[in-house]
Structure formats: structure tokens, C-alpha cells
Amino acid sequence: MKNYLILTLVFSLFLLVGCRENEESTATKMVGTWKLTEAKISNGGSSTWTTITDGYTIKLKNNNTYETTQIPDCNTGTYSIDNNNIIKFVNSCGNTTIPNSYKIVSIDNGILVLNGTFCIEDCNEKFQKIAE
């Protein structure tokens, strides 16, 4: 019985550590510089991925701040990722705060796909990681 209890405690510990690593892995994978390479936007009909030749970049830092080339005059801010894999960007431009949020659809092999939560139709952006 004592062995069973010890085995149960060890197994529970592995489960807790495994869950913690999964939660951290998305945030850890997000850190780095990303370049927009494709977009999939629908205006009510079907949509397909379109190549973006001169996409903007976004650099996500460990301290939950970011830099972007998307809006030249408003290129820094903070970000957070919630438990539902929603990443929220808050851009501070003078006296105006501009929030944007996206669903993290996938992040794998240096490819990040985001879906704008502000869109009714397809509104996806695909990024390639270009630097750590």
C-alpha cells in the first residue's frame, strides 16, 4: 500500500510538471522576431492564403514588450497571452492606447498563425520566425 501511495504521488508530480511545461512552451515559442509572410482574409466568400512580399515584422521579448514595423509612428507596446491562447497587444501612442487581440491558431516549426479576434470572416496572418 505504501508503494502504491508513493507511485501515485510520483505520477501526479510528473503530470503537474508536464502541464506546466506545456503552458510555458507557447509563451517561450512566441519570443523572437516574426515576419508576416502570408494572409488569408475573407470578405464574405471563400479565402485562400496570399503571399505577402514585404510583410511587417514584430519582435516579441521575454519581458512582454514588443516592437513592430507595422505602424512606424507607433511601434512599441506590451503583450500578454491568456489561458485561451489569445495574445493581446497594447500599443501606446501618445495619449491613445490601441489594443488588438489575436487567437494563436498554431505555432510550430518556426511558423506562427494568428486569427484576428476582431474579424467576423477569415482573418488569418502567417508569420515566419526570422530571429530568436
Tell me what pLDDT residue 96 has. Answer: 64
Largest CA distance in the chain: 67
pTM: 0.76
Q: Are 87 and 101 spatial neighbours (Cβ–Cβ below 8 Å)? A: yes
- Whole-number percent of the chain with pLDDT over 70: 77
- Render each residue's pLDDT in the chain as its tens digit; 132 residues: 444 333 333 343 333 444 444 554 788 999 999 999 999 988 788 889 999 999 999 999 999 999 999 888 888 999 999 999 999 998 877 666 666 899 999 999 999 999 998 888 888 999 999 998
What phi-psi label fits residue 110: left (phi over 0), alpha (psi between -120 and 50 degrees) or beta?
A: left
Tell me what pLDDT residue 67 has. Answer: 95
